[in-house]
């Protein structure tokens, strides 16, 4: 199998894998999927993801493929090309890893601003939503942003976290206070075209000197969400350079730094919902920051 054959017959890739007709090399692929580097007969490499056991959730890989294509359409930040999107397998362009240089960070900041400015027709998206292993409500909404963010991005994961006792009753009550006063935090904007799960591990610093976007939960959302998520879990390399370059292209709204914790709360509640109490401290710290405690 070479690349032209794959383009013409993407549905045949699983058969070639089953019969060991393609060289497979395991690579790191995160906490959800099994990841492989596939080398075709012509030397072309793919990055492939499969569900580790059993059947993946319906439309899981189709959703990621739709998100990647939508981000790629903007022609801003580089995004891997989708070659195969099947029920149980996703195969993408292989991107050779490189260094996170300051020059790459500057370019990334400018390109991320252009991606966001490409915009979206509404909050949410036209495809089913997932973030990590969890479903995410992408039902399109006209907004306003605050109400949409509270009901579609915070409350569902608060409930799951509470149900699995990853958060205490006191934690839940404090998040409910934030939901009740969501409009008081300001920052309303029209929907931007965002990655939606932009913690630093989903930025691939490549050998071509650019930063690529991978593993999206893309949708129409608030651009501050992407920037806030870049500061999580140790922060992206050269984060202030990224933000400064971003602001040269599209300055951020007044008070954006005070809203960082609010935007981070979405992904932190996803983590308490998906992975449990080990993320409670980070989630509670964000809640306290939002409430000024």
Report the pLDDT value the prediction gives residue 30, as an integer from 0 to 100: 63
- Residue-wise pLDDT for 187-239, tens only, equals 999 999 999 999 999 999 999 999 999 999 999 999 999 999 999 999 999 99
Closest CA to 213 of 84, 83, 116: 116
Report the pLDDT value the prediction gives residue 92, as an integer from 0 to 100: 96
Report the pLDDT value the prediction gives residue 22, as an integer from 0 to 100: 83
Torsion-angle region of residue 59: left (phi > 0), alpha (psi -120 to 50) or beta? left
Q: Is the pLDDT of residue 131 over 70?
A: yes
Categorize the per-residue pLDDT at 183 as very low, low, confident or very high, splitting at 50, 70 and 90. very high
Residue range 263-272: mean pLDDT, rounded? 98
Q: Which of 93, 113, 147 is the last residue of a domain?
A: 93
Report the pLDDT value the prediction gives residue 210, as an integer from 0 to 100: 98
Does one domain contain both 47 and 73? yes
Specify the CATH number for the domain of residue 88.
3.30.200.20
Does one domain contain both 45 and 107? no
Does one domain contain both 8 and 142? no
The structural domain count of the chain equals 2
Does one domain contain both 173 and 210? yes
Does one domain contain both 74 and 192? no
Does one domain contain both 126 and 231? yes
Closest CA to 232 of 258, 187, 192, 201: 201
Question: Mean pLDDT of all residues in the chain?
Answer: 94
Residue range 164-177: mean pLDDT, rounded? 98
- Residue-wise pLDDT for 18-62, tens only, equals 767 788 888 876 677 889 999 998 889 999 999 887 788 999 999
- Grouping H, G, I as helix, E, B as strand and the rest as coil, residue 104 is helix
Residue range 273-293: mean pLDDT, rounded? 96
Does one domain contain both 58 and 113? no
Question: Dmax over Cα atoms in the chain, in whole Å?
Answer: 59
- Residue-wise pLDDT for 92-107, tens only, equals 999 999 999 999 999 9
Does one domain contain both 181 and 263? yes
Report the pLDDT value the prediction gives residue 26, as an integer from 0 to 100: 83
Closest CA to 16 of 95, 65, 66, 86: 86
Q: Which of 69, 93, 117 is the last residue of a domain?
A: 93
pTM over 0.75: yes
Distance between first and last Cα of the chain = 59
Specify the CATH number for the domain of residue 108.
3.90.1200.10
Does one domain contain both 169 and 191? yes
Report the pLDDT value the prediction gives residue 19, as an integer from 0 to 100: 65
Residue range 243-254: mean pLDDT, rounded? 97
Q: Where are the alpha helices (DSSP H) in 210-279?
A: 223-229, 239-249, 260-275
Distance CA(96)–CA(259), nearest Å, equals 35
Which residue range is the domain that position 11 belongs to?
3-93
Does one domain contain both 9 and 146? no
Q: Which of 93, 113, 133 is the last residue of a domain?
A: 93
Does one domain contain both 45 and 137? no
Report the pLDDT value the prediction gives residue 3, as an integer from 0 to 100: 86
Does one domain contain both 158 and 249? yes
Q: Is the pLDDT of residue 288 over 90?
A: yes
Report the pLDDT value the prediction gives residue 21, as an integer from 0 to 100: 78
């Amino acid at each position: 199998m070479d690349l032209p054959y794959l383009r013409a017959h993407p549905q045949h890739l699983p058969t070639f894998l089953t019969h060991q007709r393609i060289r497979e090399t395991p690579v790191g692929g995160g906490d959800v999927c099994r990841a492989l580097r596939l080398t075709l007969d012509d030397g072309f490499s793919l990055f492939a993801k499969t569900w580790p056991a059993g059947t993946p959730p319906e439309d899981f890989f189709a959703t990621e493929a739709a998100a990647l294509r939508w981000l790629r359409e903007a022609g801003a930040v580089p995004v891997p090309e989708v070659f195969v999107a099947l029920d149980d397998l996703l195969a993408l362009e292989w991107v050779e890893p490189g260094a996170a240089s300051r020059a790459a960070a500057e370019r990334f900041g400018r390109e991320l601003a252009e991606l966001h400015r490409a915009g979206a027709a509404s909050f949410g998206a036209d495809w089913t939503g997932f973030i990590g292993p969890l479903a995410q409500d992408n039902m399109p909404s006209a907004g306003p942003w605050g109400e949409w963010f509270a009901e579609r991005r915070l409350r569902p994961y608060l409930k799951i976290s509470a149900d699995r006792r990853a958060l205490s009753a006191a934690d839940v009550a404090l998040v409910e206070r934030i939901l009740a006063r969501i409009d008081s935090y300001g920052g309303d904007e029209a929907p931007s075209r965002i990655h939606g799960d932009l913690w630093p591990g989903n930025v691939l610093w490549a050998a071509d000197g650019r930063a690529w976007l991978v593993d999206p939960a893309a949708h129409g959302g608030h651009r501050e969400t992407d920037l806030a998520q870049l500061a999580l879990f140790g922060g992206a390399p050269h984060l202030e350079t990224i933000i400064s370059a971003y602001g040269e292209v599209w300055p951020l709204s007044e008070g954006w730094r005070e809203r960082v914790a609010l935007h981070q709360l979405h992904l932190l509640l996803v983590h308490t919902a998906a992975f449990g109490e080990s993320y409670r401290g980070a989630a509670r710290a964000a809640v306290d920051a939002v409430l000024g405690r």
